[in-house]
Amino acid sequence: MNTQSTIYLDYASTTPVDPRVASKMMEFLTPDGEFGNPASRSHRYGWKADEAVEEARSHVANLVNCDPREIVWTSGATEADNLAIKGVARFYKSKGNHIITSKIEHKAVLDPCRQLEREGFEVTYLDPDEGGIISPEAIKSAMRDTTILVSIMHIHNELGTLNDLEAIGNITRKAGVFFHVDAAQSTGKVDIDLSSLPVDLMSFSAHKTYGPKGIGALFVRRKPRVRIEALIHGGGHERGMRAGTLPTHQIVGMGEAFKIAKEQMKEDHEKIKAFHTKFLKEAMKIEHAYINGDVDNKVPNILNISFNFVEGESLIMGLKDIAVSSGSACTSASLEPSYVLRALGRKDELAHSSIRFSFGRFTNEEDIDKTLSILHNVVERLRELSPLWEMHLDGVDLDTVQWNTH
């Protein structure tokens, strides 16, 4: 099937590379381009590549208002999360062994935490409220004398909900505890001002913001200083925090993408906000559709909806001309429904029936209209196929049914 005929509404999963970014990246690959190793100090190939890397670093720093020296290149947000969490924990283990995070963090945060538990650290996994927000009070009450790190995401990847970084950071600062934020979904969506935010470490990804896959960055604050133990050794690049030859073209791509994000954030936001308003209004005309995540405290580019009495994977198969993702168990290898929706207290069947629509820079009005029309049609057809819908129409309360699970 030609993917171009499929409407792409999965921007929270990844974005296409902006053509302006791709053409910039091309300048750093071929023999007639600046292909040098940025670490080569002895010739102009190296100097030129180094110049490009540092310019890109400035673009990234500029978007989030920090010092370029606070940006460490990584292979992506997953590595940045690993570097922040394991790096802080291992460096400061003599100070304490307790970490606070939440049950609905991305696996790139949860799995390093699990690894640290195996190494003797203790981790508290906080419950979100029913809207998917982590309350600063919950963090405050989970603090111990041995707490060294709090890791809470900014924008939630499945829900689009926003945590209050300032309120959480004020608590961690007071307690003398480091605060790491996974901001993979945030860049180009909301303003981030690290000159005033009480955040110590922040993870970024290029490919959620129209840059290439395989490159990300970790912000590591200089004042007050945060120290981390490196994960990768071999040459002392990136001030000893991350060894390995810098991938100039990837870095330049991320820099260009973040530069464009800064220039275009307002324009992107306004367009996407209008799509969100329309989509929400029309999709909610479907009976028994429920928004997952606090709709008053979220970004407009992500919209997560459960359509009761319809299973998510079959809905995705029905929406075959639309690229979206699901919290349904059946789309995952584990057959478990979304751990995120379960943590919000959603019933399993609603967790099974969730679809995440995410809009982006290249979404147009026609995509939205076409998707809405297909969505209405497919939900109706699947409900015609659904014994649960039939029971519901017959007035049966599904919660009182004795299911024959075998």
Partner 1 sequence: MAYSKKVVDKFENTLNNPKAFNVGSFDPSELNIGTGMVGAPACGDVMKLQIKCEPQGNTHVITDVKFKTYGCGSAIASSSELVEMLMGKTLEEAKEIKNKEIVDALELPPIKIHCSVLAEDSIKEAIENYESKQ
What is the Cα–Cα distance from 358 to 295, expressed in whole angstroms? 14
For partner 1, the closer of residues 375 and 382 by Cβ is 382
Q: Of 336, 335, 338, whose CA–CA distance to 325 is shortest? A: 338
Name the one range near partner 1 by CB under 8 A: 114-122, 254-262, 327-335, 355-363.
327-335
Q: For strand 201-205 and strand 216-220, is the pairing parallel, antiparallel, or unpaired?
A: antiparallel
Name the one range near partner 1 by CB under 8 A: 106-114, 115-123, 279-287, 397-405.
397-405
Of these, 170, 330, 370, 376, which contacts partner 1 (CB under 8 A)? 330
With binding defined as CB under 8 A, does residue 390 bind partner 1?
yes
Per the annotation, the verdict on 66 as an active-site residue is: no
With binding defined as CB under 8 A, does residue 385 bind partner 1?
yes
Site for partner 1 in 285-314 (CB under 8 A): 309-311, 313-314
Structure tokens at 157: 């990847």
CA dist list (Å): 179 to 164, 238, 313: 12, 21, 36
With binding defined as CB under 8 A, does residue 404 bind partner 1?
yes
Minimum CB distance to partner 1, residue 378 (Å): 8
Structure tokens at 128: 């979100």
Do residues 139 and 126 make contact, with C-beta atoms less than 8 angstroms apart? yes
Longest CA pairwise span in the chain (Å): 80
Concatenated DSSP letters for 348-369? Answer: HHHHHTEEEEE--TT--HHHHH
For partner 1, the closer of residues 222 and 320 by Cβ is 320
Minimum CB distance to partner 1, residue 388 (Å): 5
Amino acid sitting at position 271:
K
Minimum CB distance to partner 1, residue 319 (Å): 11
For partner 1, the closer of residues 189 and 352 by Cβ is 352
Name the one range near partner 1 by CB under 8 A: 20-28, 52-60, 103-111, 322-330.
322-330
Residues in binding contact with partner 1, number by CB under 8 A: 33
Q: Of 213, 268, 266, 246, whose CA–CA distance to 57 is shortest? A: 246
The long-range contacts involving 242-247, CB below 8 angstroms and separated by at least 24 positions, are 242/72, 242/73, 242/74, 242/79, 242/83, 242/218, 245/37, 245/38, 245/39, 246/37, 246/38, 246/39, 246/49, 246/53, 246/73, 247/214, 247/215
Of these, 31, 120, 387, 395, which contacts partner 1 (CB under 8 A)? 387
Name the one range near partner 1 by CB under 8 A: 34-42, 172-180, 277-285, 378-386.
378-386
Amino acid sitting at position 285:
K
* Torsion of Cα atoms, 164 then 298 then 189 then 313, to 10°: 130
Kindly name the residue from 330, 374, 388, 391 that is annotated as catalytic: 330
Minimum CB distance to partner 1, residue 254 (Å): 31
Give the residue carrying structure tokens 């460490």: 72
Site for partner 1 in 337-366 (CB under 8 A): 337, 347-349, 352
Minimum CB distance to partner 1, residue 320 (Å): 8
Of these, 3, 31, 145, 335, which contacts partner 1 (CB under 8 A)? 335
User: What is the binding site for partner 1 (CB under 8 A)?
Assistant: 309-311, 313-314, 317-318, 320, 328-330, 333, 335, 337, 347-349, 352, 378, 381-382, 384-390, 398, 403-406
Query: Which residues participate in catalysis according to the annotation?
Result: 330
